[in-house]
Amino acid sequence: MAGRTFQTGGPKAAAGTNAGNVSEREDLANFISMISRDETPFLSSIGKTKATAVLHEWQTDELATPASGAVGEGVSYSTVSSAQTAEPFRTRLGNYTQINSKTVTVTGTKRAVDQAGVADEYAYQLKKRGTELRRDVEFDLVSSWNDSNGSGTRTFGGYQAWANNVVVNAGASGAYTAPTTKGVGDAGVITRGTSDANLGSLELSHVDQVMQTIYQNGGKATKLMASPSVRRQFSAKAQAAGSNVRRNIDESGKLRQSVEIYESDFGDLMVVPNYIMGLGTAADTSVLVYDPMWFNYASLRPLQEVDLGQLGDSIIGQLIEEGTLECRNPKGCGMIVGTGA
């Protein structure tokens, strides 16, 4: 049942003079409860670094594919090392920085009146908008499917733009349109599929498949991140008959339903829910499988308040920051797409 809300003055003022309660004081607590979640699970799991240009770049390198290394006795040095000059493995990658901003406008009257739970409306709004901005960055990292774009309004490529190991959910009724894969050296590896109508539920085989692909490409994932809905699908599949997973009942009788650690053939995965992945047009449609050590948030301008001064009877401020996602090993992370049914 939804809570009741009242107009300015409260329920007693709205009752009118004939209600016999005009003189009664209202009981309004001197605090405001923030009822929205403020966690940023992906951003909090990765590292931080410094960007020094609008296009933040880094390099990757690879070892040659294992092969027989036998050579004849007395072979010349030039013969042994000739292949080194032809190695095409070093790659230069980059991601554009994105400017993120929130504006605060508060009237002089609003700052002057005595408000319950608020000492200074301007300071309160700054703090609130700062939390919102951080959640916006998280959304662009895990749910926006943005490619790296350096023209017009710059956008950084989020996780989906870098995951190089993609498993498409084949259990959907009808073909889910898979993301388009680009070259690893491109600024953005994957773009979103064009059809999200044909979705299927997450299967443990999808997790095993993406873990195998990551392992074969030289990586080792340690986290699986999904929306709350898909996170429940994962626990349900793990607890299903024939899965060899049993619900644990400890000495106190507590029943443990969720699966927090998934031990695959290619390493252990910590299963983490991310409520922001359940928002937007791409809600619930992807699962991230990655190792946080390969990601950094590169800050060009840290979060700061810009005082824009007085405009008439209002004070205006702006919160602004600029940064981008650094993925140091696109082959070491993966994604399952087409989930959510």
Question: What's the sign of the alpha-carbon dihedral 131, 50, 225, 203?
Answer: positive
pLDDT band of residue 280 (cuts 50, 70, 90) is confident
Q: Which residue has the higher pLDDT, 28 or 117?
A: 117
**Predicted confidence (pLDDT) at residue 253 exceeds the cutoff of 70:** no
Q: With contact defined as beta carbons under 8 Å apart, do 190 and 166 qualify?
A: yes
41-47+92-337 in CATH: which number? Answer: 3.90.1690
Query: Taking Cα atoms as reference points, which of 133, 151, 129, 153 lies closest to residue 141?
Result: 133
Query: Taking Cα atoms as reference points, which of 157, 159, 155 lies closest to residue 100?
Result: 155
Burial class (CB in 10 A: 0-12, 13-18, 19+), 232: middle
Angle between helices 228-239 and 204-216 (to 10 degrees): 100
Q: What is the pLDDT of residues 76-107, one digit of tens each?
A: 766 665 556 656 678 889 999 999 999 999 98
φ and ψ of 69, to 5 deg: -110, 20
Q: With contact defined as beta carbons under 8 Å apart, do 309 and 317 qualify?
A: no
| Among the ranges given (61-65, 183-187, 241-245, 311-315), the one the predictor scored with the smallest mean pLDDT | 183-187
Domain boundary assignment for the chain: 41-47+92-337
Q: pLDDT at position 75, please?
A: 78
The two structure tokens encoding residue 223: 């986290």
Tally of CB atoms within 10 A around 59: 10
Q: How far apart are CA 339 and CA 301, in angstroms?
A: 36
Query: Taking Cα atoms as reference points, which of 243, 289, 247, 240 lies closest to residue 269?
Result: 289
Q: How far apart are CA 204 and CA 168, in angstroms?
A: 13
| Among the ranges given (64-68, 151-155, 230-234, 244-248), the one the predictor scored with the smallest mean pLDDT | 244-248
Q: Which residues contact 118 (CB under 8 A, 6 or more apart)?
A: 32, 124
Q: With contact defined as beta carbons under 8 Å apart, do 218 and 66 qualify?
A: no
Q: How far apart are CA 188 and CA 338, in angstroms?
A: 20
The two structure tokens encoding residue 31: 């605090």
